[in-house]
Amino acid sequence: MGLLLKNISALLSVYENAPQKLSGAEMKKLPVIENAWLACDNGLIADFGSMDDFPGITDWKNLEVIDCTGKTVMPSFADSHTHIVYAGNRSQEFVDRINGLTYEEIYNRGGGILNSAKKLRGTSENDLFEQALERLKEIISQGTGAVEIKSGYGLNVESELKMLRVIRRLKETNLIPVKATFLGAHAIPEEFKNNKQGYIDLIINEMLPAIEKENLAEFIDIFCEKGYFDEHETKHILEAGKKHGLVPKVHAEQMSHSNGIKAAVECNAISADHLEFCSDDDIALMKKSDIMPTILSGAAFFLNLQLPPARKMIDAGLAVAFASDFNPGSSPSGNMKLMMSLACIQYKLTPEEAINATTINTAYAMNLQNEVGTITNGKLANLIITKPINNYGFLPYAFGSDLIDTIILNGKVWK
């Protein structure tokens, strides 16, 4: 059965031919049709236009119709950076930080990522899947219509594969498109504390071949940071991943300037994420590449980090994406509408820029720009119907209100 949305007050991000991404001044453009209709068929966007040119319909019997009077319709958010497969939570570390410990001190005591690794290793694949599925459903209810999910809390062969198999099962639920990223180089596990090279060898010689054999990931990521992996190790591991068919991404310049952006650009990474310590030279480097600089506004907010220079990047002509980084340690929220609000409030993006940064540009950052991210015929019909609002700027403005009326996934109302 097809789905018809009619009397849409504003239909956002409409393109006959969608661009791959939006950069610099283009990010301010948000093509809108007021008083619009949109039809979905076979899970895809079939057609759309103005109610003034509403086509004659003969087959109403096979059509579900939703009257969207007063409501805005936009493409679902695309979240290109999450770690939603994890066991339990780290709310105790939240309190520890309130009481004065730093993220770094917590890690050095065997907490942080290592705490999540301990918990995850002791959790069965089924249990992990159930916990992650809850989170997937939560972010869907908050408007996410495509997601990237990383491993990186296993830190040994068995548990990294366990995480990636859970991600594959999430993908197989066919709720929304899911992209898998191998993040074995997220931290140095306790048992390799004094032998980082041994762990890098394990990643390269054992994890990567096993992942390729089971076709478990599309991307490879690494935490390039002081105390984790340096620029040279980052490049070495990313190049090894490329040999196994994986496309690089990098956690770069989050807590210090560690040349993660440089490594990412040199390895042709699809995105460099975090970027709190991004320098002017880094901006110039990224300008010469196709990389998607990705700001993780939830993590910078939750850890009280200095803010990445998003405004400066856009003004320099770069594209910028905003993703959630949903994870138990640095961003225990996958609410993309909140990430969009933070983009406006803290980083001075306009509502148009923030909507583009959380839809089309994040879609590009996970190579889904031809499937989602804009209202374009043939793209997946994953949509948000808002509650009645006067203009789309109200979405980031009302930062604590959910404002979502109906979620459409694969051309059907999601319940």
Site residues for ligand NIG per CB under 6 A: 112-113, 116, 223, 251, 254, 299, 325, 327-330
Question: Toward ligand NIG, which CB reaches closer, 294 or 359?
Answer: 294
Q: CA-to-CA distance for 167 and 131, rounded, in angstroms?
A: 12
113 is in the binding site of which of Fe ion, ligand NIG, none (Cβ under 5 to 8 A by kind)?
ligand NIG
| # of chain residues touching Fe ion (CB under 5 A) | 1
b/e map 106-125, b = 16+ CB within 10 Å: bbeeebbbbbbbbbbbebee
**Backbone φ, ψ for residue 337 (5° rounding):** -65, -35
What is the nearest approach in angstroms of Fe ion to the Cβ of residue 296? 6
Question: Toward ligand NIG, which CB reaches closer, 75 or 154?
Answer: 154
Distances (CA, A) of 160 to 150, 217, 249: 10, 11, 17
80 is in the binding site of which of Fe ion, ligand NIG, none (Cβ under 5 to 8 A by kind)?
none
Closest residue to ligand NIG, judged by C-beta, is 329
What is the nearest approach in angstroms of Fe ion to the Cβ of residue 151? 11
112 is in the binding site of which of ligand NIG, Fe ion, none (Cβ under 5 to 8 A by kind)?
ligand NIG
**Angle (deg, nearest 10), helices 157-172 and 113-121:** 80
DSSP 410: T
Question: Toward Fe ion, which CB reaches closer, 143 or 334?
Answer: 334
What is the nearest approach in angstroms of ligand NIG to the Cβ of residue 116? 5
Question: Toward ligand NIG, which CB reaches closer, 45 or 255?
Answer: 255
Question: Toward ligand NIG, which CB reaches closer, 330 or 369?
Answer: 330
CA dihedral over 234, 240, 244, 247, signed as positive or negative: positive
Q: CA-to-CA distance for 55 and 314, rounded, in angstroms?
A: 40
What is the nearest approach in angstroms of ligand NIG to the Cβ of residue 93? 8
308 is in the binding site of which of ligand NIG, Fe ion, none (Cβ under 5 to 8 A by kind)?
none
**Angle (deg, nearest 10), helices 157-172 and 125-141:** 50
330 is in the binding site of which of Fe ion, ligand NIG, none (Cβ under 5 to 8 A by kind)?
ligand NIG
116 is in the binding site of which of Fe ion, ligand NIG, none (Cβ under 5 to 8 A by kind)?
ligand NIG
Of residues 255, 332, 340, the one with CA closest to residue 297: 340
What is the nearest approach in angstroms of Fe ion to the Cβ of residue 369? 21
DSSP 409: E
Distances (CA, A) of 268 to 37, 70, 149: 40, 44, 20
**Backbone φ, ψ for residue 18 (5° rounding):** -80, 140
Distances (CA, A) of 71 to 62, 140, 203: 24, 19, 49
Give the type of residue at 14: V
Q: Is 93 in the site for Fe ion (CB under 5 A)?
A: no
What is the nearest approach in angstroms of ligand NIG to the Cβ of residue 382? 25
Question: Degrees (nearest 5) of the Cα angle 403, 330, 185?
Answer: 125
Question: Toward ligand NIG, which CB reaches closer, 79 or 325?
Answer: 325
* Residues 309-338 close enough to bind Fe ion by CB under 5 A: 325
What is the nearest approach in angstroms of ligand NIG to the Cβ of residue 402? 25
CB atoms within 10 A of CB 273: 27
Question: Toward ligand NIG, which CB reaches closer, 178 or 323?
Answer: 323
Question: Toward ligand NIG, which CB reaches closer, 179 or 251?
Answer: 251
What is the nearest approach in angstroms of ligand NIG to the Cβ of residue 137? 21
Interface ranges with Fe ion (CB under 5 A):
325
